[in-house]
A and B are shown apart, each in its own frame.
Chain A
């Protein structure tokens, strides 16, 4: 579904990604793990079109992505939930959800889709008309995820969803990922909490110093203390 070949990216003059290669198949949860600064976030941003200078080949369902702006990649069915919770502070929960639909063909079914979201995310249902900023960090993250899912994207990219969130909500969130996977959603996940991530993922790529250094099934990686020690310990 998503095929990344020899992806390179630069921030100004610094060459931050070097020949990243990875694949995500339909219905899979694939995880990128590695230390802070290894290039995981930049990989997601490059796939979404938020890095100005990139080269290589990134195809999604056979269509080349590089060179196209972020909004066109959204139209192909890519969703990206950035690292810091990016709920829009002045807007209500409902307006944040509507924002997820403004460019989607699903826009005409707005009321129905907000109802559907409220059933999947009961925490948001109670707070639809509340200003989003008044919610806890975990609820805001839930909202960011709900906002990305409301347009029925084909591939969801999540950057550090568990960061700074209380454990109860993290468990709830990863249960949600399991449910979404059963429903056929494809995910590319960046996560510091390796055990948790490998628990839901099918496969994982280990990223270090801007390139993929290891690739294995989640189960194998979970058992491989050596790799985890070498590339993931902080």
Chain B
């Protein structure tokens, strides 16, 4: 998928360059994890819902993008339209399916979203077929640029940049706006936010939609890297769960750092022992859980 390193260098120079490039590839991969994990983490932290449909929303983002591109919508408009459409679908799911389950314990919405993900995948198979499609990298973002250690695909840099913009935007929203203040307070103490006049049900709705929208954007961004298939949300959801566990359930900073870390671990492992790459993620999780069971930034006893 990315260019082979330049030929003819000394062995040592070659491997250093390769490791440098692989590190960047890991950060790009990690960016996609981050986009999934912040939504998962935000939704869990606020609603105590473990959203097993998050991978399906990711896949839906890729397919909505595929469809929009096929009817001639340009990629830059897709970048705005896809998260809005997937986020809108997320709003409907929260309002109609998840809201009636609040107050019944954590397992009800977990089972519901688990089942929902199968329904969404099956519907996509019916509409788009079982086989996947390749997605072209947008013309402006094709090619590679020299990043000092070698040539790196421009599109991957773009994925990292978009993720960066989303994170800064989210941070400003949470830290600098009244709505963000409500979300930060509501995640810790929903009852006090209610008695201070906040319609918490509406906040939960918006947070769920926001998380799903960002997952959809992640799917769109991943489409040119890996193509689209109906099952594409499965593996990445498992990996995003690892990221939220390693980072600490409910912690956004944790999701970002752990997402990038997991990306780099996968990428570097695949350089030395490709067959171990996916196993390395879970080994990392096991090690983190042994040393720090609540993850990097998790609060102990969140579920109690």
Contacts and interface: CB of A to CB of B under 8 A. Distances in A.
Interface string B192-203: 111111111000
B198 A91 contact: no
17 contacts: A48-B195, A50-B194, A50-B195, A69-B199, A70-B195, A74-B197, A79-B195, A86-B189, A86-B192, A89-B188, A91-B184, A99-B185, A99-B192, A102-B178, A102-B197, A103-B196, A151-B197
A164 interface: no
Number of chain A interface residues as a range? 20 to 34
B191 interface: yes
Nearest to B201: A69
Given A82-B191, A107-B178, A90 B196 contact: no
Contacts of A50: 191, 194-195
Contacts of B192: 82, 86, 88, 99
B19 interface: no
A23 interface: no
Given A99-B182, A102-B181, A71 B194 contact: yes
A99 B181 contact: yes
A74 B196 contact: yes
A98 B184 CA distance: 12
B292 to A, nearest CB: 19
A75 B188 CA distance: 22
Contacts of B198: 71, 102-103
A107 B196 CA distance: 12
B65 to A, nearest CB: 36
Contacts of B188: 88-90
A102 B182 contact: yes
A174 B171 CA distance: 41
Given A74-B196, A82-B192, A95-B185, 14 more contacts: A50-B195, A69-B199, A70-B194, A71-B197, A80-B195, A95-B181, A98-B178, A99-B181, A99-B182, A99-B185, A99-B196, A103-B196, A103-B197, A104-B197
A100 interface: yes
